[in-house]
Amino acid sequence: MRDIETKEDIAFLMNEFYSKMLKDDLIGYIFTDVAHLDLQKHLPSLTNFWENMLLNANGYKKNVMDIHFKLNAKEELQKAHFNRWLELLVETVKEHYKGEKAQRMLNSANSIAGVMQFKLGKMN
């Protein structure tokens, strides 16, 4: 198994990851019924975010926290939602990639989930 190396690897990973999340019993509705996520529009943005994080690109310009504050205003995000998000990401990454960048993605995702929960007051 190889490491994450290109933007195309990240795009593939995000597609696989979101395919799982949209069908998930615990968090799928947040993306489909609350956020009304248009996956084809959202995937390039997600890919750019992770490309910045893993490949030192500079294509992501959105405020991640603001997006999640707005989502939380529509549907209160719970610790269980963040945990499931992280479980699905770990599962998806480990199914397809192994290496320094794959591990950095998992470490970053864990940190991001923690910071978001803290800023949204969901640490309990």
* Tens digits of pLDDT across the chain (124 residues): 999 999 999 999 999 999 999 999 999 999 999 999 898 988 998 898 899 889 986 655 666 678 878 888 898 999 999 999 999 999 999 999 999 999 999 999 999 899 888 988 865 5
pTM above 0.85, yes or no: yes
| Structural domain contains residue 63 | yes
Is residue 53 in some structural domain? yes
**pLDDT for position 71:** 85
The CA distances from residue 1 to 52, 65, 82, 106, in Å, are 23, 33, 27, 16
In a domain, 106, yes or no: yes
**Widest CA span in the chain:** 40
Task: Please report the pLDDT score of residue 11 as a whole number.
Answer: 96
The answer to whether residue 124 is domain-embedded is no
Tell me how many domains the chain contains. Answer: 1
- Which residue segment(s) compose the domain that 65 sits in? 7-119
